[in-house]
């Protein structure tokens, strides 16, 4: 593989020192609950102002903004699928697109590190979502001869999620 450092971190994504953090946004990009709300609060009011100019974002797509008051330089906003609104295969495809499109945008801008929150896991079952996340990242990194991204952090909120991520990670990143 590319030699990228892959890690799992339990904590606050708004404090993560990476070039890009990923926001599990809603389609309006105007803030909300959970991680989305925390990122908007920590980044400050300029983030909402920039997000208003973007015209929303479709499920599985990605739009980039500045990081404003966050340690990260950029924020990749991606609306994940609501698991119960799609067939399992379509939900998986859309979730995979979230990861791939965020990586693609970070790579296009030349960033070296990215921190993902657990996209869509408020409803999407955590174990299948974790497999999708790891496989999407591994496949993306393997598809690039020399990716700019050298560090990927999966930031989780709970000890339960941390255990799931830690148990599945070796299947994709031995």
Can you give the CATH number for the domain in which 12 is found? 3.40.220.10
Per-residue pLDDT tens over the stretch 124-161: 999 999 999 999 999 999 999 899 999 999 999 999 99
Parallel/antiparallel/unpaired status of strands 74-79 and 63-66: antiparallel
Tally of domains in the chain: 1
- Residue 97 belongs to what domain range? 5-172
For the record, the structure tokens of 140 come out as 């993306």
Q: State the pTM of this model.
A: 0.96
Higher pLDDT, 16 or 122: 16
Residues near 127 by beta carbon (within 8 Å), at least 6 away in sequence: 164, 168
pLDDT, residue 2, reads 62
Per-residue pLDDT tens over the stretch 28-38: 999 999 999 99
- Which helix (H) or strand (E) segment is 10 a member of? strand 5-10
Per-residue pLDDT tens over the stretch 66-116: 999 999 999 999 999 999 999 999 999 999 999 999 999 999 999 999 999
With helix as H, strand as E and coil as C, how does 13-67 read? HHHCCCCEEEEEECCCCCCCCHHHHHHHHHHCHHHHHHHHCCCCCCCCCCEEEEC
């Amino acid at each position: 593989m590319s030699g990228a450092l892959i890690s799992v971190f339990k904590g606050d994504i708004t404090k993560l020192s990476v070039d890009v953090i990923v926001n599990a946004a809603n389609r309006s990009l105007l803030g909300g609950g959970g991680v989305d709300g925390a990122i908007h609060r920590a980044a400050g009011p300029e983030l909402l102002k920039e997000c208003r100019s973007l015209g929303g974002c479709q499920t599985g797509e990605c739009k980039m903004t500045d990081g404003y008051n966050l340690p990260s330089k950029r924020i990749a906003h991606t609306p994940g699928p609501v698991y119960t609104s799609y067939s399992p295969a379509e939900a998986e495809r859309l979730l995979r697109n979230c990861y791939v499109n965020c990586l693609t945008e970070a790579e296009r801008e030349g960033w070296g590190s990215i921190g993902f929150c657990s996209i869509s896991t408020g409803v999407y079952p955590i174990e299948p979502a974790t497999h999708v996340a790891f496989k999407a990242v591994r496949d993306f990194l393997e598809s690039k001869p020399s990716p700019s991204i050298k560090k990927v952090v999966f930031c989780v909120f709970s000890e339960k999620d941390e255990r799931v991520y830690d148990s599945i990670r070796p299947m994709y990143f031995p």
